[in-house]
Homo-oligomer: A and B are copies of this chain.
């Protein structure tokens, strides 16, 4: 009997609505498989909490989360709280403090009707973006000089450490090797003359340990174009924090939008909890209406199961998502369906 301790942070806007459906799926797994159980603890952190307490999470929040196997996060951000606070003090803080240095985001077309691209089908769009998730452009380093004066100048410094760069690139090579896929590195050495020159060097260096992995290297601008015109080129992609952020949104665009985009923030050594989240935001404009699409949140549960080495469940969830996407009455309005958030979750559980 395996028990997994899961910390729920439903967060803001549609976060709680979609997480509720993901939890239903987890409870169904528990019911169907007597070898697995979950215990859930909910944390009320987010923008509402901020407005009441002046902080995004409890002072000892990180300490409290430490003992969990996984964090399941809904969405963060709400009008009235600056993004620089809400995101940096909760989402980015957890990624950083728990050294979740790997962000795995599948770019997989689950149903041909979902892509806005002509002539592309499931076989053309099926790859994995591995995004550096702990440093780089997101390091938060910088300076703001001569504020309010004509000579005002603002500096933002990306920090690329040997350790941080090497470990993400090695993780990607391992992933490509074990699944026998090609590996594409995305960088921008022709303009970012320190960080990306270093990135390219490390990519080549670590590559020597993986002669069996076929590699490519693209500039981020070219890669952005190829994601749209030739997604079939990619199998595993490794890139920096900021480039991963941008590229995975293009990935979402070509596979049906943010309602279908999931991300796993991993600490592969399991020294700290990993975090699973739909990539979409809190969507204040539609929150409370019961029409948010919970599929990304459910897909996060699939990623969580993979991480728990319960891959058979990961697969069952993914194939059930494919099935439900063919049922117009079971999907939400953003996908052209008529179902509510809850309706989708209930039907999903039925199918499981």
Contacts and interface: CB of A to CB of B under 8 A. Distances in A.
A159 interface: yes
Contacts of A84: 189-190, 193, 197
Given A83-B189, A144-B194, A250-B250, 8 more contacts: A117-B117, A138-B192, A142-B157, A142-B193, A143-B194, A154-B198, A156-B193, A228-B250
10 contacts: A77-B190, A84-B197, A116-B117, A152-B162, A154-B160, A221-B245, A221-B248, A224-B224, A228-B228, A228-B254
Contact of A249 (B116, B157, B221): B221
Given A117-B116, A190-B88, A193-B88, A225 B258 contact: yes
A225 B249 contact: yes
A286 interface: no
A207 interface: no
Interface residue tally of chain A, by bracket? 35 or more
A228 to B, nearest CB: 4
A18 to B, nearest CB: 18
A151 interface: yes
Interface of A: 77, 83-84, 86-88, 92, 115-119, 137-138, 140-144, 146, 149-163, 188-198, 220-222, 224-225, 227-229, 241-242, 245-246, 248-250, 252-254, 257-258
Contact of A140 (B150, B153, B193): B193
A249 B222 contact: yes
A59 to B, nearest CB: 21
A150 B250 CA distance: 35
Contacts of A157: 142, 155-158
Nearest to A247: B224
